[in-house]
Structure 1
């Protein structure tokens, strides 16, 4: 958000991130982004609120935040040599004006064939236990990848700024 030079504050919504039974990764990401934006908008009805969520999608299975070293190791072993789609969802809500819009910015990420030793070195160096898919592309995790494909290059880090700008303009904000 600092890149857009707009004043903002961060509020952590209390939203249960548990997937519904059989919920597809893209549907989960969209539902959570909208739920987060709505939750904060209820607390700040005059604000234009941005909600976002990202779910790693491995062949239709959501991979959440690992939380532990063991789960991160298991996730990275499953993803080695695979293409994972990071479903990055975005929602903009303003209760005062009745504005509500949501969008999805999928990012295809091709993981290298990773050895167990590479996985262990990476996890020891970065400890990415709080991010979907156990890899931070904005950090050392970029070394785990062969390719990234997206029409919004900021989406993999978590907030697709091209879509954010489009939606903020639609909500009435003035951007350069």
Structure 2
């Protein structure tokens, strides 16, 4: 019987990334509260949210491998999520100008039949260029990155904001660490090359 894969995300970027190694999967939008708990560390937050998204699949499915993911930007110890408004996007990018930001992308695998799980957090650091107010305004107007952690899309014009990037997997910056996903699937004797 063919193994079913389920992506617990409505993100078109995560869907595009997942298609690179798993050509057929279903997806749903998990309805979870993403509010950080009091004094919750960024790594703990993204790990918890990826698992919560994966576990939300129990409401819709009874078998298959669920893939959940979450991402936060961390700057000077502060967790910065999605801006949702132009004003907040401007504030985030102005704050990042000339500085480093670390993006933590979590990945959770859940086997719905056995409830086995694996969870990892992949860090990726971006050094931002020194940006003018006009550059920030132009970027936001062109890409509307209001639903992106850190207020940019690295798969698009967002790369123009960066001086340097450092990490194991650039896919994690877009929202799904594929190198880790491959390793986690292999841990469960699931070889994407054999799908």
What TM-score do you get using the length of structure 1 for normalisation? 0.96
Counterpart residue number, 2:165: 148
- Aligned partner of 1:38 among 29, 35, 55: 55
Counterpart residue number, 1:7: 24
Number of residue equivalences: 176
Counterpart residue number, 1:136: 153
2-structure distance, mates of 1:148, 1:109: 5
Say if 1:90 and 1:102, in contact at 8 Å, map to a contact too.
yes
- In structure 2, list runs of 5 or more residues that go unmatched: 1-17
Matching of residue 95 in structure 1 with residue 112 in structure 2: yes
Greater CA drift, 131-140 or 4-13: 4-13
**Aligned CA distance change for structure 1 residues 94 and 100 (closer, same or farther; 3 Å):** same
2-structure distance, mates of 1:172, 1:92: 13
Counterpart residue number, 2:128: 111
2-structure distance, mates of 1:138, 1:154: 9
**Aligned CA distance change for structure 1 residues 11 and 37 (closer, same or farther; 3 Å):** same
- Aligned partner of 2:71 among 46, 49, 54: 54
What TM-score do you get using the length of structure 2 for normalisation? 0.87
1-structure distance, mates of 2:169, 2:110: 21
- For residues 12-54 of structure 1, the C-alpha deviation after alignment (integer angstroms, 9 at most, x for no partner) is 1111011111112221111101110111145323110000000
RMSD value over aligned CA atoms? 1.2
- For residues 118-165 of structure 1, the C-alpha deviation after alignment (integer angstroms, 9 at most, x for no partner) is 000101111100000101111111100011101122110100000011
Matching of residue 73 in structure 1 with residue 68 in structure 2: no
Q: In structure 2, the residue corresponding to 1:154 is in which secondary structure?
A: helix
